[in-house]
Structure 1
Amino acid sequence: MMQFPIQDNELLIGGIPLTRLASRVGQTPFYAYDRKVITDRLQQLRAILPKEIHLHYAIKANSMPAVVQHLSGLTDGLDVASLGEMKVALDTGMAADKISFAGPGKSDKELTAAVAAGVTINMESEGEMERIATIGNKLSIQPRVSVRVNPDFELKTSGMKMSGGPKPFGIDAERVPDVLKRIANLSLDFQGFHIFSGSQNLRPEALIEAQTNTFELAYRMAEYAPSPITWLNIGGGFGIPYFPGEKPLDLQPVADNLQSLVDECKTRLPDAEIVIELGRYLVGEAGVYVCEVIDKKISRGETFIVTNGGLHHHLAASGNFGQVIRKNYPVCVGNHVVSENSEIVNVVGPLCTPLDILANKIELPVITIGDLIVVYQSGAYGLNASPQGFLSHPATIEVFV
């Protein structure tokens, strides 16, 4: 899991010793994202995936403008889930027709901005479709749209299931044919389909099954389309390891199967641009969260390391962002990673709640006040998925190195 080298027993982030980086940042806690780790991940993907695949970055994973700007130069498109993210995407200079907008609760304000900008809107309901058409007529613009399909299957063993059964996301597959007939009677620039079945999956066989089903579903839906399919977003789902026992995703069998699917798609949907939308997989392992030890105490035989960071900055690491049974993210003492002496400790934050846990009963080098605790795997769904205003503690910041 460790993507970062160690020099003189100190973690290097972006090639910078951690204590020096903390001085440069000017405060703890902070998030740091390593551009080289992100670049390397993109290069690895390009080398293994079929060359016909268009890679998009899902900004919801990490919306720091500097990170998005960097990825806009490495990927083929950007996917957004809010007006704020759309503004960040457009500011990169990415062409509007390479930006797509998903989300089940788009307001008229957001839809108007998206139509005016010319991004592709992934329509999540019949009602949203009608509102988009009305806005387009008012603006004298033909909106670019695709249909987000809620499949009749799911991505098995995924960390977060986005399809199958009743869902707020997308239009149920069985309803899509009627929606496509309606699109033919509206002034909409229909592009194709967005089929996203789940996220955070480490099993190649599950991804292979879901992707195979996705293409078959697209072929069935295309029979009712009012025009040729020019855009097919098959989602992502590629996971990263967080917890003990988890292994990195083996992409080779996924890539091999994708090549077969892409070859078939060239015949059945010859005009379709095939998109894989990834967020966590591109940035998750490139980031760390750094906080400082402010107290060390013993309570009834257990050692507590109290830091100035916690769930208000990093909800996911606290276990309160979707975990059923709390597990520790990988953690280290960044300013002395290796030591002959170690201890079992609980690493907690400063908040007045027992939920504020960064690591529970974890073995670390002996810690002193002022040490820097580092939480790995923090490049995705860290700050932008956390209640930073909770209990009015000081805000954290982000740096890109």
Structure 2
Amino acid sequence: MIKAAPKHANMDWFPVIDNCLHAGGQTITRLAARVGQTPFYVYDRSIMTQKVEQLRAVLPEGLHLHYAMKANPMPAVVQHLSQLTDGIDVASVAEMQVALNTGINPLTISFAGPGKTDAELRSAIAAGIIINMESEGEMERITLLGNALSILPNVAVRVNPDFELKTSGMKMGGGPKPFGVDAERVPEMLKRCGELNLNFKGFHIFSGSQNLRPEAIIEAQTKTFALAYRLAEFAPQPITWLNIGGGLGIPYFPGETPISLDAIAENLKPLIIEAQQRLPEAEIVMELGRYFVGEAGLYISEVVECKESRGEKYAITNGGLHHHLSASGNFGQVIRKNYPVSVANRVTSDRLEKISIVGPLCTPLDIIADKMTLPEICVGDLIAVYQSGAYGFTASPRDFLSHPHPMEILV
């Protein structure tokens, strides 16, 4: 397991760090020597394993877990999670190739995305994975491409539901959306699907992500099954695959706590039993990304300069928003909040200071921590940003201002 420095006073509210990232294993200083450079991301496979095992322990039997690899597509991470979960969901052909390289059954891989090109669709058809169709036009293109290849494409309809995941960090359904087919248009699309040379599998119904409220998840999941039953009446063949999405969030900021799974699991039990009766051939899939990997990652940068400006202290590191856009507050935050941060190499410290940690870029947006109380920082110290296993490395503008890229390792 990763071992950072002991938690500091400003991190007492965040129990996951104490439980997972401060227990045994290699120190961050030793890992930095192993990597040979800073900045870098380090991901802990034992925490990923623990997250999957915890979820399986509480969720009802009959529910398949898929990894949405957009959250962290590092091949070593995908390989590890491919052995723990029941399938992988991809959002590009490049991701598809990584998923296929794990050696799993192509029918356990699904491909979603609103703007698939003909080249991407051709690759997906040839690979034999499930393509989540995002429009009627995409359905027609898949048919033509499949006919040209003499391959029967495996397809599902991605549905834009007539409801949303309330209080979701990112809403993917309800209202006008570029994702999927509006629920009210799906029956007509299914009629046309039955006339085409396609192997219809079922539905992908995903209403939102990064949610910490069990009651919101429960409401969305209940509505998802009800919608699936309504649409199944128009299906050209029996439903064999139903992806109910994910939505389980992780805490990032003060006042947030890990989502309680007990009520969600209790609500899912009768839903799964009913689904097994009404859709007896269907594999029910829950698709999760951030939930499996977010808490398993740290982003480490090194302090290269300490300075004071008009009474305020700054520590400048060799990493910033170009490596970790979300931690800078520029990836979906309306009001900027600090990710949990520590001085990772400091075993003990008697002196605390209020300081801002910033990156090396020539922009005031390059903030890692704004006016946080931390142990007194010196040049050469290692700064750890927690909750960095999801949407860090690949969701950041790494070429902005042409600074060196960070490394990634899995331990």
Distance in 1 separating the partners of 2:385 and 2:242 = 36
CA displacement, residues 169-222 of structure 1 (integer Å, 9 cap, x when unaligned): 000000000000000000000000000000000000000000000000000000
Tell me the equivalent position of 2:201: 191
Query: Secondary structure of the equivalent of 1:290?
Result: strand
2:282 aligned with 1:272: yes
Structure 1 alignment gaps of length 5 or more: none
- Checking the alignment, whether the CA contact within 8 Å between 1:9 and 1:338 is kept in structure 2 is no
SS of 1:254's partner is helix
Whether 1:35 and 2:45 are equivalent positions in the alignment is: yes
Q: Distance in 1 between matches of 2:347 and 2:2?
A: 12
Deviation at 1:6, TM superposition (A): 5.5
Tell whether 2:302 aligns with 1:302.
Answer: no
State the 1:338 CA deviation. 4.4
Q: How does 1:257-296 map to 2 (within 5 A)?
A: 257-296=267-306
Q: Measure, in 1, the Cα distance between the counterparts of 2:328 and 2:141.
A: 40
Alpha-carbon separation, structure 1, partners of 2:358 and 2:287: 35
1:86 aligns with 2:96: yes
Give the 5 Å matches for 1:298-337: 298-336=308-346
Alignment of 1:373-392 (within 5 A): 373-392=383-402
Within 1, Cα distance between the matches of 2:50 and 2:217? Answer: 22
Instruction: Tell me the distance in 1 between the aligned counterparts of 2:298 and 2:273.
Output: 39
Q: Are positions 1:397 and 2:407 aligned together?
A: yes
1:201 and 2:211 are equivalent in the alignment: yes
Q: Take 2:276 and 2:348, find their aligned partners in 1: how far apart are those partners? A: 52
TM (norm. structure 2) is 0.95
Rounded Cα–Cα distance in structure 2 between residues aligned with 1:7 and 1:204:
32
Structure 2 CA distance for aligned equivalents of residues 197 and 139 of structure 1: 33
Are the aligned partners of 1:89 and 1:99 in contact in 2 as well (CA < 8 Å)? yes
Residue 339 of structure 1: how far off its partner (Å)? 2.1
Deviation digits for residues 290-318 of structure 1 (CA, Å, limit 9, x no counterpart): 00000011011110110000000000000
Query: Is 1:69 aligned with 2:71?
Result: no
Deviations 1:6-60 (A, max 9, x none): 5789976881111111000000000000010011111111101112110000010
Aligned residues: 399
Q: CA RMSD in A?
A: 1.4
Q: Give 1:4 deviation, angstroms.
A: 5.4
Q: 1:214 aligns with which of 216, 220, 224?
A: 224
Q: Is the 8 A contact 2:158 2:205 kept in 1?
A: yes
Alpha-carbon distance between aligned partners in 2 of 1:14 and 1:77, rounded to the nearest angstrom: 31
Q: Percent of counterpart pairs with the same letter?
A: 68
Aligned in 2, Cα 1:14/1:274: closer, same or farther, shift over 3 Å? farther
Deviation of 1:267 after TM superposition, in Å, equals 1.3
Q: Distance in 1 between matches of 2:6 and 2:166?
A: 43
Q: What amino acid does structure 2 have at the position aligned with 1:153?
A: F
Q: 2:148 is matched with which residue?
A: 138
Local SS of the residue matching 1:78: strand
Q: Report how far residue 340 of structure 1 moved.
A: 2.2
Structure 2 vs 1, CA of residues 60 and 292 (structure 1 numbering), >3 Å: closer, same or farther? same
Answer yes or no: is 1:347 the counterpart of 2:347. Answer: no
| Residues 319-360 of structure 1 deviation map (CA, whole Å, 9 limit, x = unaligned) | 000000000000000001542211111110000000100010
Q: CA deviation at 1:126?
A: 0.5
Does the Cα contact within 8 Å between 2:217 and 2:247 map onto a contact in 1? yes
Inter-partner Cα distance in structure 2 for 1:9 and 1:171: 47
CA distance in 2, matches of 1:127, 1:36: 43
Task: Please tell me whether the aligned partners of residues 329 and 337 of structure 2 are also in contact (alpha carbons under 8 angstroms).
Answer: yes
1:251 aligned to which of 239, 253, 261:
261
Tell me, which stretches of 5 or more residues in structure 2 are unaligned? Answer: 9-20
User: Matched residues in 2 for 1:155 and 1:288: separation?
Assistant: 29
- The one-letter code sitting in structure 1 at the alignment partner of 2:337 is K
Aligned counterparts of 2:258 and 2:125: Cα–Cα separation in 1 = 39
When normalised by structure 1's length, the TM-score is: 0.97
